[in-house]
Chains A and B, each alone.
Chain A
Amino acid sequence: MPEVMLVALPAWQFAALLLAPLAILAAAAAGLRRLVRRRGAQHEDKDWSVPPLADAAGTTLFHRWDIRCKLLTLIAYSFLVASLSRVAPALAAVAVSILALVLARSSWARVLMRLLAITGFLAMFLVVMPLTAPAHPGDTVLVIGGVDWIGFNLRGLTKALAIVAKATAIALLMEPLLTTAPLPVTLHGLTKLGAPDMAGQMVLLSHRYLHVFRHEAERMAAGMRVRGFRKRTDLETLRAVANFLGMLFVRSFERTERVFDAMRARGYRGRFPAPAELRMEKADLALSFAWLAIGAALVVYDRLSG
């Protein structure tokens, strides 16, 4: 097809066919977000804003998989998925990820939180790309209600859908990758794979103090609310937020010194003790090979179907 195919659509048909599903998706996302938030408010102790990143010890395939094999395999697989370019293979990757979630018995609430976190960014692609992708020969462009300066390019829509599917597939894999072993063990595995020892230690320390400083920030925010501070769109709010930030930095830099002194007093010499003995068996390797074979098959499918 050498020509750009223009399909004229009355505005109401366009709305019904394309905008309605998008609107429903957006409403669903907003509703879920409200639901998750309200749930979070009910159970004070379960705070998903900083999840602990480690499930209770499970016995699923993912929990038993050697951490080095698991990290290497799933990260390499993620890159393979990210390199796909068509919708169908990307959807197949989503299916594989859902299978992984079921196998790993991941918490659906946390999976949902991860998906909600990426909806805003991905929605931008879904909305903007069809409207701005330049029309090439062979494209189908929907012209809405006779307005010809803006067209809805279906090639842009497929491209955006492929991106959404890829992002979803990889985001879904994060729960099986990260929460089927305690964070120290995961980081130990990473250092065994060649990451600098210090990098792992820094992640552990940051992760631990994140909770501390978040509590500190909440305490300070509560104090401000009690004194009648309400956030508005004005300069005074910005000044108050800036003072808040400044105070947070002052307190946390001071705390950092104390933490470091305490660590040294307890004999810290630049390393933490190893959290676990790692053992790799043939089954671990077999699972890795099988998983990577799936990834390779997806890439081959992606290239051939073009």
Chain B
Amino acid sequence: MHISDGVLPISVTVGGYAASAAIAAWSARRTRSEELPKVAVVTAAFFVASLIHVPFGPTSVHLLIPGLAGALLGPSAFLAIGLGLLLQSMLFQFGGLTALGANALMMGVPALLCGVFFQRFKGRTRRRQAIIGGLAGALGTALAALVLALLLATGGEDFFGVAKIALAAHVPVVVIEGLVSAFTIGFLAKVKPALLEPAFVQSEKAAHA
């Protein structure tokens, strides 16, 4: 779920922009500068991945993948997610332009946390990487839903009901996202384990290994 224009109090939208600009600047500094164009191209892949719908009973949910982005991109994930959200807003109106800062915080901060979580606990075996990847995926979505509810709740008590509904709507997404993330990380561990090292930040040697 992306927040559209006109929902949040103006102070929260402006504050969201300021905070996400600061984190994006940090994220860009943690990424080696000549690799920034690569981050842009990878962002396109995550963008496409987030358009994939998974059936859920009579309806379907689309993947949010903040957890996977964090696990695969490390500190660059915030930059990638901000960029992806800007494009989604410009192309599809998913998320308003004035709410872009708040939306970037909602998806980007969980991605950073999931990245740290995954890199810290991933271990060496494929099984363990898949399980930790799945937990990171579920955690990313759960945190994003929590931030969404908190942002909505800044509007005052009239918004509490909407915040609760939005939170509840994410419960099935958390489960699906966790399972898909676990399978995806398991697949990558089998097919191309190098991708599970955080991209764009490691030494020259590892990048071309």
- Assess the B40–A205 pair: CB atoms within 8 A: yes
Minimum CB–CB distance from A71 to chain B (whole Å) comes to 11
Give the interface size bracket for A toward B.
Answer: 35 or more
- Docked complex Cα distance between A263 and B41 (Å): 12
**With known contacts A133-B161, A237-B55, A260–B5 Cβ distance under 8 A:** no
- Assess the B42–A233 pair: CB atoms within 8 A: no
Chain B residues at the A interface, C-beta cutoff of 8 Å: 1-8, 10, 13-14, 28, 33-34, 36-45, 47-49, 51-57, 60, 63, 65, 68, 72, 79, 83-84, 86-87, 90-94, 96-98, 157-162, 164-166, 176, 179-184, 186-188, 191-192, 195, 199
Contact of A207 among B34, B87, B98 (CB under 8 A): B87
- Assess the B98–A82 pair: CB atoms within 8 A: yes
Least CB separation from A205: chain B residue: B40
| A57 contacts B by Cβ under 8 Å | no
- Assess the B5–A114 pair: CB atoms within 8 A: no
- Assess the B90–A53 pair: CB atoms within 8 A: yes
- Assess the A232–B184 pair: CB atoms within 8 A: no
- Assess the B5–A250 pair: CB atoms within 8 A: no
| A242 contacts B by Cβ under 8 Å | yes
- Docked complex Cα distance between A75 and B86 (Å): 14
Minimum CB–CB distance from B48 to chain A (whole Å) comes to 4
Least CB separation from B34: chain A residue: A270
Q: Could you give 16 example pairs across A and B, Cβ below 8 Å?
A: A82-B8, A83-B10, A114-B93, A118-B93, A132-B161, A134-B157, A171-B96, A205-B40, A233-B57, A238-B179, A243-B187, A248-B45, A248-B48, A252-B44, A256-B41, A260-B38
| A231 contacts B by Cβ under 8 Å | yes
- Assess the A243–B47 pair: CB atoms within 8 A: no
A-B pairs with beta carbons under 8 A, tally: 235
| A198 contacts B by Cβ under 8 Å | yes
Q: Which residues of A contact B48 (CB under 8 A)?
A: 210, 213-214, 216-217, 248
- Docked complex Cα distance between A175 and B141 (Å): 31
Chain A residues at the B interface, C-beta cutoff of 8 Å: 49-51, 53, 75, 78-79, 81-84, 90, 113-115, 117-118, 121-122, 124-125, 128-129, 131-134, 155-156, 159, 162-167, 169-171, 174, 178, 196, 198-199, 201-210, 212-214, 216-217, 231-233, 235, 237-239, 241-250, 252-253, 255-257, 259-260, 263, 268, 270
- Assess the A79–B98 pair: CB atoms within 8 A: yes
Least CB separation from A122: chain B residue: B4
Q: Which residues of B contact A122 (CB under 8 A)?
A: 4
